[in-house]
């Protein structure tokens, strides 16, 4: 066991609060868990040296941090600063049908329900999910009433100042027939370590539009997860936009726990320098008539490294399932690296499933052609790269968010050079 994990367990053992039963379970599992090495399949291409070098700090400057504007959208804000829920920056006036409460402030009955839901969707196999179970200072519980249509997006912002370590946790429950948009956003100044996990329980006929912007770069270590439980005829559409950093890891789990559930996941990652981004996505089809469409695209430049593991598991009772997984990657350097592993595990016999992965280099002839027509090399790169990614941006349900993220991605492309 690593010194860092030993220290995390010791810190978790020193916390006594309403989450004590769940912390105890997590600490017990952590004490039995081996620290990942290159022989650990889930971490085979993602070394944890940057985590091991991290040193927890008791006091870090927290003033002056506030969420950046996104697309001039009016949003319901849920703000964490260095792992602590910030009541002052979070929205106090909520639309009808929406409740946002700290778990420690719930009454006994609601607290018991929150404890029951805690880690019921996030699988226990996620090492840093268990770390988050043990070290999160509290849980923010977001509840959307049955039939409610929450028009304003709900943004979960995690703000980190230099040198901070943070562990944030949110539970989101959509009642029957409810509709909502949730945006997860991490903003870090540098040299930080964070775990951020959100669990979504999507009831019958409910609709969730989800975004996760993991745009932290440089020396940040960001490990997190978004985990979804779909019930009868519920729908979700998730979009992930990620840059790389010293270590950036995201685990996504989608569980089809009801019939006729529909899931769409689109992810794009853009890496430069010596950055690392690791996306592990697992879809569990446990019930019949479910559909999943998963599209993941990455562009990797310089000496950056990307890891993608996409697994779709069709259980024996999940007849009439339709599932498709596609991963496409573009390498801009001879030293850039992508490790991709799409998987289908099928135990039902009446299904339609497909999966595939491609890795290619940027077309240098096309790059040369554009340059001969008076287009600068940097602009030509942006044009070619943007065409590769833009299809997924066009699929974002929120047009304002799509227009907001486009110039950010263009600027990122301009920094990435073909070598």
What is each CA distance from 20 to 17, 115, 162, 273, 331, in whole angstroms? 5, 10, 30, 42, 47
Q: pLDDT-derived band of residue 54, with 50, 70 and 90 as boundaries?
A: confident
Residue 75 pLDDT > 70, yes or no?
Answer: yes
Query: Taking CA 265 as the corner, what is the angle to CA 282 and CA 292, rounded to the nearest 5 degrees?
Result: 70
Q: 84 - beta bridge partners?
A: 81
DSSP at 245? B
Q: In what order do the strands lie in the sheet with 154-160?
A: 84-85, 76-81, 154-160, 179-188, 207-214, 235-243, 262-271, 291-300, 322-331, 352-361
Dihedral angle over CA of 375, 378, 381, 387, nearest 10: -80
Look at the block and give the residue holding tokens 């230099």.
162
Using CA atoms, how far apart are residues 319 and 350, in angstroms rounded to an integer?
5
Distance of alpha carbon 227 from the chain centroid: 9
Higher-scoring residue by pLDDT: 377, 32: 32
**Across 289-312, average pLDDT:** 96
DSSP 159-197: EE-TT-EEEEEEEEEE-TT-EEEEEEEEEE-SS-EEEEE
Using CA atoms, how far apart are residues 14 and 9, in angstroms rounded to an integer?
9
Using CA atoms, how far apart are residues 11 and 28, in angstroms rounded to an integer?
14
pLDDT at 46: 96
pLDDT at 369: 64
DSSP at 149? B
Using CA atoms, how far apart are residues 254 and 200, in angstroms rounded to an integer?
9
Domain ranges of the chain: 3-258
pLDDT at 142: 98
Give per-residue pLDDT as tens, 98-113: 999 999 999 999 999 9
Distance of alpha carbon 415 from the chain centroid: 24
Residue 246 pLDDT > 80, yes or no?
Answer: yes
Read off the tokens for 320: 């009439």
Using CA atoms, how far apart are residues 91 and 88, in angstroms rounded to an integer?
8
Least confident of 39-43, 159-163, 375-379: 375-379
In 3D space, the residue among 30, 51, 52, 48 whose CA is nearest the CA of residue 40 turns out to be 48
Dihedral angle over CA of 78, 265, 245, 334, nearest 10: -160
Residue 45 pLDDT > 80, yes or no?
Answer: yes
pLDDT at 58: 56
DSSP at 58? S
**Across 167-185, average pLDDT:** 97
In 3D space, the residue among 164, 143, 136 whose CA is nearest the CA of residue 76 turns out to be 143
Give per-residue pLDDT as tens, 134-147: 999 899 999 999 99
Q: pLDDT-derived band of residue 70, with 50, 70 and 90 as boundaries?
A: confident
Q: pLDDT-derived band of residue 60, with 50, 70 and 90 as boundaries?
A: low
Give per-residue pLDDT as tens, 214-236: 998 889 999 999 999 999 999 99
């Amino acid at each position: 066991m690593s010194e860092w994990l030993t220290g995390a367990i010791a810190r978790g053992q020193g916390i006594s609060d309403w989450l004590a039963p769940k912390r105890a379970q997590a600490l017990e599992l952590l004490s039995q868990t081996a620290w990942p090495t290159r022989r650990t399949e889930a971490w085979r291409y993602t070394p944890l040296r940057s985590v091991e070098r991290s040193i927890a700090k008791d006091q870090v400057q927290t003033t002056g941090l506030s969420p950046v504007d996104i697309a001039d959208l009016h949003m319901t804000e849920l703000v964490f600063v260095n792992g602590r829920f910030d009541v002052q920056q979070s929205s106090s006036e909520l639309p009808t049908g929406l409740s946002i409460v700290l778990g420690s402030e719930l009454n006994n009955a609601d607290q018991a329900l929150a404890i029951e839901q805690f880690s019921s969707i996030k699988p226990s196999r996620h090492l840093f999910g268990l770390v988050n179970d043990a070290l999160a200072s509290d849980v923010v519980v977001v509840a959307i009433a049955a039939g409610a249509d929450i028009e304003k997006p709900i943004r979960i912002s995690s703000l980190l100042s230099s040198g901070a370590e943070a562990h944030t946790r949110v539970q989101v429950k959509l009642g029957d027939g409810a509709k909502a948009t949730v945006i997860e956003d991490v903003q870090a100044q540098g040299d930080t370590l964070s775990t951020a996990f959100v669990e979504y329980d999507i009831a019958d006929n409910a609709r969730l539009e989800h975004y996760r912007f993991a745009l932290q770069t440089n020396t940040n270590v960001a490990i997190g997860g978004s985990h979804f439980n779909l019930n009868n005829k519920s729908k979700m559409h998730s979009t992930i936009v990620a840059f790389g950093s010293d270590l950036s890891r995201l685990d996504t789990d989608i569980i089809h726990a009801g019939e006729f559930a529909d899931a769409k996941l689109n992810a794009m990652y853009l890496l430069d320098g010596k950055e690392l981004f690791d996306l592990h996505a697992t879809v569990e089809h446990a019930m019949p008539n479910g559909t999943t469409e998963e599209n993941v695209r990455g562009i990797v430049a310089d000496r950056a490294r990307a890891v993608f593991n996409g697994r779709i598991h069709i259980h024996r009772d999940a007849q009439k399932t339709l599932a498709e997984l596609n991963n496409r990657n573009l390498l801009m350097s001879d030293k850039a690296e992508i490790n991709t592993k799409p998987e289908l595990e099928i135990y039902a016999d009446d299904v339609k499933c497909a999966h595939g992965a491609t890795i290619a280099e940027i077309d240098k002839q096309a790059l040369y052609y554009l340059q001969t027509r008076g287009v600068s090399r940097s602009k030509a790169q942006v044009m070619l790269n943007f065409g590769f990614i833009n299809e997924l941006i066009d699929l974002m349900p929120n047009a304002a968010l799509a227009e907001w993220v486009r110039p950010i991605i263009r600027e990122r492309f301009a920094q990435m050079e073909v070598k």
